[in-house]
Amino acid sequence: MRNKLFFLTSVSLKRKIKTKWFVLANILLCLGIVGIFNINSIIKFFGGDFDEPLKIYVMDETGEAYDILKEQIYTVDKGYYGEDSKNYEVLPYTEQGEIKEFIEGESKKYAFIIRNDENKILDVTLMSDGFIDTIDYQLLSTAVNNTKTIIATSKVDVSMEDVEKIVGPVSITREILDETKKTEDENMEMVMKTVFPMIILPFFMLTIFLVQMIGAEVNDEKTTRGMEIIISNVSAKTHFASKILSGNIFVLLQGGLLIVYFLLGLVVKNVLSSNHLFTGLDTMIGGTVSKVFESSLASQLTYVIPLSLLLMIITFVAYSLLAGVLASITTNTEDFQQLQTPIMIILLVGYYLAIMASTFKGALFIRILSYVPLISAILSPSLFVVGQIGILDVLLSIGIAILFDYLLIHFGLKIYKVGILNYSSEGLWKKMFKALKQKS
Amino acid sequence: MLKVEHVTKYYGEFKAVDDLSFTVKEGEIFGLLGVNGAGKTTTFRMIMGLLEPTEGKITLDNKKIDYSVTDKIGFLTEERSLLTKLTVYDQCVFYGTLKGMSKKQIEERLDTLLEKFSITEYKHKKIKELSKGNQQKIQFITAILNEPKLLILDEPFSGLDPFNIELFKKEILDLSKKGSMIIFSSHRMEHVELFCKKIVVLLHGKSVLAGDLKDIKEEYQKKNILIQGDFSLDEIKKVKGVINVTQGQDYIVKIENGDVVPEVFKKLRDANITKFVVEEASLNEIFIEKVGEAYEK
């Protein structure tokens, strides 16, 4: 019977994997993920106005501001966008005509007119054809203020060191009395709040794959009456086990492929930007990965990742058991599609609560729900990462999820045995309750 | 030998099969007949081990039918039981492996059977792309792939043309000669008459007629006389013991028993007769008489 279990499992897997749709879907997934990671490079590849540096023409009537401003603009640009950045090109205005006419109609040209001012030291006009991007304005404004400080410093005969002492920010030493909490972890909550929903998205997607795969297979075998031939040769228990096994192997395989596409995306980005795998990442996910590695969470990852994966696998099993049982009692594909809706709602509740966990910090309701099977795989690690529950709570969620799987196997199998050979929806619930009362 | 002994099956309060007993010996072809809801499919399912009888027992060679003996059984369901997205080859490998056959055994047997049924070109075609008749052939092939010791055929000829029915018949008779026990259900009584030595007729789950087909026909007194020629129909109708006369290709004179034949013949002595044949009542007539309604699936 064990050989037949492996045979049925392999047949189910082949039926899912050896299809052109599986290959096509994975090609699209791979391209999509690699594309998202390299969206900047893709956009840059096709070119556009953003590729040209913004030309800043300076009409300097003071005779001393141009060189300082030029250096400050380049410094600020590199400070914000990185060492290789060349977003601005600063040039002196040497044309004969009016500067207004020179700038007019040119979206990539700005002009600074700098004059002496008795009260404010410098009088600066920034001229552009249209609106100025907020970040550009902030950077140029910083560069102008720095220029003013340098010129002013030279005029009042105060050293730069003294100026820095005066204008430099006060360094605040943080002291947190709870020894388990570190200051560098403070922003993790905010990071995880925005990024965690994206990280758990694959789990969401894989669960949908799993439910649909098992439901479609059981339904197909049942509606074609192939089930009668199969069940006359292998027990319902073996058949059920083969569906659960193949479904879970499939999602783990698909999950593994998603990780490969993720890594491939990183490698391609690394190659394109010639940066270190993580330091070069300026996307939200990349930034989060970097921050996670810098925080104390990194030391906890050695057990957080395995425990989260374990909880996810146990939850995959629970969803597959539920999908198998529900598919067995339906008599056609449409019925199963309708029964999928509550499963999707359960998934969405978990997803929504994971997002809301940071907003409702310390909410008892969310904490209790983090122990509830089917939801816990999403909610429990989310709450742990943002520090709202401890490792013991995660372990408790795992224990409850295992118990839930056991109960689903114990009672679900009784329903499955009756359901797969039942072709009538008449008195369905009565039949199922009767099945539950039967001895295993 | 297959033994069905005092088997009763309840679905809740509903009695689907009521104290049914019969045996099928090696090489025998057995007919299980009945109208819709008579309990045939339930009986087949119980034999296959898909359902547990509420009472009674079913044994194959004195062993309860469980997964240790199902490799020796072939089952053709009334509805298509093929996974239509698979190819013919994959389907046969799938069901064959479940019957405990090796891939090599399946391939050899499959090639032989595809050849016999003249459908070798469909080996790697998807089942859903085949015609209904060819799908039925594949379903039959999957049922006999393992050369079963016990073969259960629920309406095997559905969707088949006369030529293919002959192919099926030949294969069924070959299996019977090799010693397979065959249980057969069909709504075509001429098929049952051709194949089956023994029958059981079910009505509301209960056996209303059982035994050797020859004996049943002999016990059933009513006969038919087939006549062709010019004669007075009214004269024949007046003969005592004539139930009715219907006209088709021949005149069919239904009579109460064999004693009526000489009386009918006397009336035709001076007529111009080209055909006079006395035949036993058909199984269909016996069935209708016993079951009390037309056999319609």
Residue-wise pLDDT tens digits, A325-349:
999 988 888 888 888 888 889 988 8
B18 and B157 share one domain: yes
Q: CA of B94: which chain A residue's CA is closest?
A: A11
Cα separation, B234 vs A267, in Å, equals: 100
Best of B14, B98, B138 to mutate (most A CBs within 10 Å, chain A): B98
B199 and B248 share one domain: no
Cα separation, A370 vs B207, in Å, equals: 60
B249 and B273 share one domain: yes
From the CA of B239, how many Å to the nearest CA of chain A? 53
- Classify residue B292: in a domain, yes or no: no
**CB of B253 closer than 8 Å to CB of B268:** no
Res. B103 pLDDT band, cuts 50 70 90: very high
* Nearest CB neighbour to B81, from listed A229, A234, A427: A229
Which chain B residues are Cβ-neighbours of A15 within 8 angstroms?
A: 85-86
CATH code, B237: 3.30.70.980
Res. B53 pLDDT band, cuts 50 70 90: very high
Cα separation, A431 vs A278, in Å, equals: 57
pLDDT digits (tens, 9 = 90+) for A220-278: 898 888 898 999 999 999 999 999 999 999 999 999 999 999 889 888 888 877 555 44
Q: What is the dihedral of CA B260, B266, B267, B270, to 10 degrees?
A: 160
* Strand-pair partners of A126: A112
CATH code, B198: 3.40.50.300
CATH of domain A49-167: 3.40.190.10
The answer to which of B17-26, B131-140, B148-157, B279-288 has the lowest mean pLDDT is: B279-288
**In this predicted complex, what is the ipTM?**
0.80
Q: Do A229 and B45 touch (CB under 8 A)?
A: no
B198 and B141 share one domain: yes
* Nearest CB neighbour to A224, from listed B84, B97, B99: B84
B29 and B160 share one domain: yes
Q: Do B71 and A235 touch (CB under 8 A)?
A: no
From the CA of A216, how many Å to the nearest CA of chain B? 12
pLDDT of the residue at A96: 77
From the CA of A437, how many Å to the nearest CA of chain B? 14
Nearest to A383 by CA among A292, A308, A315: A308
B73 touches chain A (CB under 8 A): yes
Q: CA of B127: which chain A residue's CA is closest?
A: A224
B131 and B249 share one domain: no
- Classify residue B287: in a domain, yes or no: no
B169 and B265 share one domain: no
Q: CA of B87: which chain A residue's CA is closest?
A: A15
Res. A194 pLDDT band, cuts 50 70 90: low
- Classify residue B136: in a domain, yes or no: yes
The DSSP result for A387-417, as a single string, is TSS-HHHHHHHHHHHHHHHHHHHHHHHHHHH
Q: Do B81 and A11 touch (CB under 8 A)?
A: no
pLDDT of the residue at A183: 60
B151: three-class secondary structure by DSSP? strand
B227 and B181 share one domain: no
Q: Do B73 and A232 touch (CB under 8 A)?
A: yes
Q: Do A7 and B73 touch (CB under 8 A)?
A: no
Radius of gyration of chain B measured on its C-alpha atoms: 23
Whole-structure pTM value? 0.76
B94 touches chain A (CB under 8 A): yes
pLDDT of the residue at B268: 86
pLDDT digits (tens, 9 = 90+) for A104-153: 888 888 999 999 887 778 899 999 998 888 999 999 999 999 898 888 88
* Nearest CB neighbour to B81, from listed A7, A225, A427: A225
Q: Do A232 and B50 touch (CB under 8 A)?
A: yes
* Nearest CB neighbour to A234, from listed B83, B84, B98: B98
Which chain B residues are Cβ-neighbours of A8 within 8 angstroms?
A: 98
pLDDT digits (tens, 9 = 90+) for B187-241: 777 778 878 889 898 888 888 888 888 888 777 767 788 898 888 888 888 888 8
* Nearest CB neighbour to A228, from listed B77, B85, B99: B77
Mean pLDDT along residues A345-365: 83
Query: Which residues 6+ apart lie within 8 Å of B26 measured at CB?
Result: B1, B149, B179, B180, B181
B71 and B193 share one domain: yes
Q: Do B67 and A421 touch (CB under 8 A)?
A: no
pLDDT of the residue at B297: 41
From the CA of A404, how many Å to the nearest CA of chain B? 29
**Which residue type does B267 have?**
K
Which chain A residues are Cβ-neighbours of B145 within 8 angstroms?
A: none
pLDDT digits (tens, 9 = 90+) for A286-322: 556 666 666 666 667 777 788 888 999 999 999 999 9
Which chain B residues are Cβ-neighbours of A418 within 8 angstroms?
A: none
pLDDT digits (tens, 9 = 90+) for A165-182: 777 778 888 777 776 666
Per-residue pLDDT for A284 more than 60?
no
Q: Two tokens at A109?
A: 């040209």
Best of B11, B14, B68, B83 to mutate (most A CBs within 10 Å, chain A): B83
B67 touches chain A (CB under 8 A): yes
**Which residue type does A136 have?**
D
Which residue has better confidence, A197 or A68? A68
pLDDT above 70 coverage of chain A, percent:
87
From the CA of A26, how many Å to the nearest CA of chain B? 21
Which 8-state DSSP code applies to residue B219? H
Q: Do B70 and A233 touch (CB under 8 A)?
A: yes
Q: Two tokens at A310?
A: 């374990």
Q: Do B83 and A235 touch (CB under 8 A)?
A: no
CATH 3.40.190.10 positions along chain A are 49-167
Give me the domain span that covers residue B39: 2-217
Cα separation, A392 vs A384, in Å, equals: 10
Count, in order, helices (H) and strands (E) of chain A: 18, 4
pLDDT of the residue at B295: 47
pLDDT of the residue at B294: 43
B1 touches chain A (CB under 8 A): no
Count Cβ atoms below 10 Å from residue B33 Cβ, excluding itself: 25
The answer to which of B106-120, B206-220, B222-236, B283-297 has the lowest mean pLDDT is: B283-297
The mean pLDDT of chain B is 87
B64 and B167 share one domain: yes
Q: Do A1 and B67 touch (CB under 8 A)?
A: yes
Number of structural domains in chain B:
2
B232 and B92 share one domain: no
Query: Which of A85-99, B19-33, B256-270 has maximum average pLDDT?
Result: B19-33
- Classify residue B297: in a domain, yes or no: no
A297 phi, psi to nearest 5 deg: -60, -25
B40 and B187 share one domain: yes
The answer to which of A361-375, B36-50, B181-195 has the lowest mean pLDDT is: B181-195
A338 phi, psi to nearest 5 deg: -70, -40
pLDDT of the residue at B110: 95
Count Cβ atoms below 10 Å from residue B101 Cβ, excluding itself: 21
Which chain A residues are Cβ-neighbours of B12 within 8 angstroms?
A: 427, 430, 434
* Nearest CB neighbour to A232, from listed B49, B83, B94: B49
Per-residue pLDDT for A285 more than 60?
no
Res. A432 pLDDT band, cuts 50 70 90: confident
Per-residue pLDDT for A193 more than 50?
yes
Longest alpha-carbon distance in chain A: 100
H-type helices in A274-332, by residue range?
Answer: 284-294, 297-329
- Classify residue B40: in a domain, yes or no: yes
Integer angstrom CA distances of residue B95 from A344, A410, B60, B139, B142: 34, 28, 21, 10, 7
In total, chain B counts a number of residues equal to 297
